């Protein structure tokens, strides 16, 4: 039996989604699994057969025990951690009043976090007869696995994800030392493609034999959860989405966008400080929930007829939403009925809405101000480093000016950018996204930073949306893995050059080209995903790799 260690939730994207999908797939495949994590609402996941909370004094509270519809069962164990949750990038968690980037935490807080987790995991390993452990991220659950392995003799593997390496290991020698030791004693370090393998060897050159224990484990997609839709069936899918969000807690209040636009209109001489004040006034709502007026926002779309562009991801500059918005006027010139749907939460939302307002009104001064300082205006929760500006947007403006096309772009902005053409939904989980993904004609993921492999890219493929992605790191590997199903000139449309000077122009050109395909390639893309990326096949390889260490 294996035990998966994940320091965070099952809800959401990235490593949370990876964990949820792997555990679900193992249960579907008839495997029993122990799971240690901090999920606040385990009952909503039908593969969890039982859930327990472990208090610091050793008492255990049973949250529930039940039958599940799968041949395998997951038992979830939640260590009670107190007020503080160490994270990589500042975020909000309802159960924790202190959600703090771990690089800002003192040694004693880190030690307490590790001790509480080690106590619980060692107990689970001994009582459940666990024969192998798997820990997500480079830190801190790897340290927990390492210490439990030393006490019990049970081996462990690791799956590094980019955020821990970039925002903890590289920034703080404490966490580099933790990760180095854990990597040295791990039985295997699964890597999502060559980019992550190179990152591990570059960051940990002094870990003995690290290059010899880096098996590949690609990302996956639940092909049963996402499906192809005929355009005529899209309105019914949106009605199902509305039903799915009915009764859920809501986030951004209705009227917030209108108030922000009014505030922007009232700024006679906007500067970074005045924008920051406006954005702070608009923030403060529960971010990990759908917008209060989501259903109303969806009403104005002709789902069976309007071309739909989709972005799903954290709303931070590193994910590149601002570059889609900059390209949008030239896309809308060619497809005036097209809509852009933006799904996610994060501090770039207010910056993005200000950019759209400036584009709609043709306020070049405000556009330039946002290009120069938009990244800084996200605030500390974005977890970025480097430039304060939105580099690709700034380079786009420079290129347009040099080519004598800046006035054409401003005219296109004023003619086509309207609030109803760009629809923000707020935060949606995959329980809701499965109804939205198949309605998209084109999905755009122009990440500015290298990623191991965005799962949303595969979900777009499985749903028939033609995906565009920055052609580097794990995204390039994902594109290459399905490109053989398409004519070379079609596959090339998926690729956005990673250099900032090309980003916006590539999005504008490739989005227009992808819309022109009219969905003719979605069957081929879906078939590629089914063959290569189903989560059950990924979970089997993970389980086999862990089991091999115990024999």
Its pTM surpasses 0.75: yes
257, 353 contact by CB (below 8 A): yes
Low-confidence ranges of the chain (pLDDT < 70): 380-386, 452-453
Fold: same for 2-220+534-550 and 231-242+251-532:
yes
Backbone angles phi, psi at 542, to 5 degrees: -65, -50
What class has domain 231-242+251-532?
alpha beta
Displacement of CA 112 from its chain's centroid (Å): 29
Q: Say which DSSP state 290 is in.
A: B
Owner of token pair 């980003």 = 503
Q: How far apart are CA 241 and CA 435, in angstroms?
A: 6
Displacement of CA 446 from its chain's centroid (Å): 13
Residue-wise over 95-125: b if at least 16 C-beta within 10 A, else e? Answer: ebeebbbbeebeeebbeebbebbbbbbbbbb
Query: Nearest to residue 140, comparing CAs of 80, 122, 546, 163?
Result: 163
Burial (CB < 10 A; 0-12, 13-18, 19+), residue 174, is middle
Cis peptide before 140 (omega within 30 of 0): yes
Taking each helix axis from N to C end, the angle separating 348-361 and 406-416, rounded to the nearest 10 degrees, works out to: 100
Q: How far apart are CA 461 and CA 464, in angstroms?
A: 5
pLDDT at 385: 52
Helix (H) or strand (E) holding 470: strand 466-470
Cβ atoms < 10 Å from Cβ of 379: 16
Task: Give every strand in the sheet of 422-426, ordered side by side.
Answer: 422-426, 339-343, 308-312, 442-445, 466-470, 495-496
Beta bridge partners of 424: 342
130, 1 contact by CB (below 8 A): yes
What class has domain 2-220+534-550?
alpha beta
pLDDT at 194: 82
Beta bridge partners of 54: 60, 79
Q: How far apart are CA 7 and CA 482, in angstroms?
A: 32
Tell me the domain boundaries of the chain.
Answer: 2-220+534-550, 231-242+251-532
**What is the distance between the terminal CA atoms of the chain, rounded to a whole angstrom?**
12
446, 507 contact by CB (below 8 A): yes
pLDDT at 382: 52
Q: How far apart are CA 170 and CA 139, in angstroms?
A: 11
């Amino acid at each position: 039996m294996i035990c998966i260690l994940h320091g965070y939730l099952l809800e959401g994207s990235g490593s949370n989604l990876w964990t949820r999908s792997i555990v679900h797939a193992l249960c579907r495949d008839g495997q029993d699994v122990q799971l240690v994590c901090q999920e606040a609402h385990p009952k909503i996941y039908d593969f969890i057969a039982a859930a327990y909370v472990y208090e610091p004094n050793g008492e255990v509270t049973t949250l529930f025990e039940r039958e599940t519809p799968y041949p395998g069962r997951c038992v979830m164990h939640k260590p009670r951690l107190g007020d503080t949750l160490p994270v990589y990038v500042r975020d909000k968690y309802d159960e924790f009043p202190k959600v703090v980037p771990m690089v800002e935490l003192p040694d004693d807080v880190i030690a307490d976090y590790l001790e509480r987790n080690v106590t619980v995991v060692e107990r689970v390993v001994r009582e459940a007869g666990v024969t192998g452990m798997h820990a997500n991220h480079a830190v801190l659950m790897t340290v927990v696995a390492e210490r439990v392995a030393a006490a019990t003799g049970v081996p462990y593997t690791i799956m590094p994800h980019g955020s821990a390496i970039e925002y903890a290991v590289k920034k703080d020698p404490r966490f580099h030392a933790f990760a180095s030791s854990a990597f040295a004693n791990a039985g295997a370090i699964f890597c999502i493609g060559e980019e992550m393998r190179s990152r591990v060897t570059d960051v940990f050159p002094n870990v003995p034999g690290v290059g010899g224990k880096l098996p590949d484990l690609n990302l996956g997609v639940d092909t049963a959860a996402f499906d192809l839709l005929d355009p005529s069936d899209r309105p019914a899918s949106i009605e199902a989405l509305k039903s799915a969000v009915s009764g859920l807690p809501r986030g951004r209040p209705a009227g917030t966008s209108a108030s922000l636009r009014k505030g922007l209109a009232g700024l006679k001489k906007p500067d970074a400080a005045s924008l920051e004040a406006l954005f702070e006034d608009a923030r403060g709502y529960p971010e990990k929930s759908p917008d209060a007026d989501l259903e109303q926002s969806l009403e104005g779309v002709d789902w069976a007829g309007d071309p739909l562009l989709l972005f799903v991801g954290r709303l931070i500059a590193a994910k590149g939403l601002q570059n889609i918005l900059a390209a949008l006027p030239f896309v809308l010139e060619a497809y005036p009925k097209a809509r852009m749907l933006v799904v996610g939460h994060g501090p770039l939302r207010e910056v993005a809405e200000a950019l759209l307002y400036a584009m709609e009104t043709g306020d070049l001064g405000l556009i330039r101000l946002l290009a120069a300082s938009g990244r800084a205006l996200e605030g500390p929760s974005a977890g970025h480093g480097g430039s304060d500006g939105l580099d690709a947007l700034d380079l786009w403006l420079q290129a347009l000016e040099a080519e004598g096309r800046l006035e054409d772009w401003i005219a296109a902005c004023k003619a086509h950018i309207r609030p109803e053409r760009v629809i923000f939904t707020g935060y949606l989980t995959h329980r809701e996204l499965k109804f939205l993904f198949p309605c998209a004609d084109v999905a755009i993921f122009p990440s500015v930073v290298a990623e191991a492999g965005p799962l949303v890219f595969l979900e777009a493929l499985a749903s028939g949306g033609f995906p565009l992605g920055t052609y580097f790191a794990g995204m390039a590997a994902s594109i290459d893995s399905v490109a053989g199903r398409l004519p070379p000139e079609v596959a090339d449309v998926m690729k956005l050059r990673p250099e900032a000077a090309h980003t916006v122009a590539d999005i504008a050109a490739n989005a227009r080209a992808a819309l022109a395909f009219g969905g003719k390639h979605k069957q081929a893309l879906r078939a590629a995903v089914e063959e290569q990326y189903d989560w059950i096949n990924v979970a089997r390889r993970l389980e086999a790799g862990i089991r091999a260490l115990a024999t």
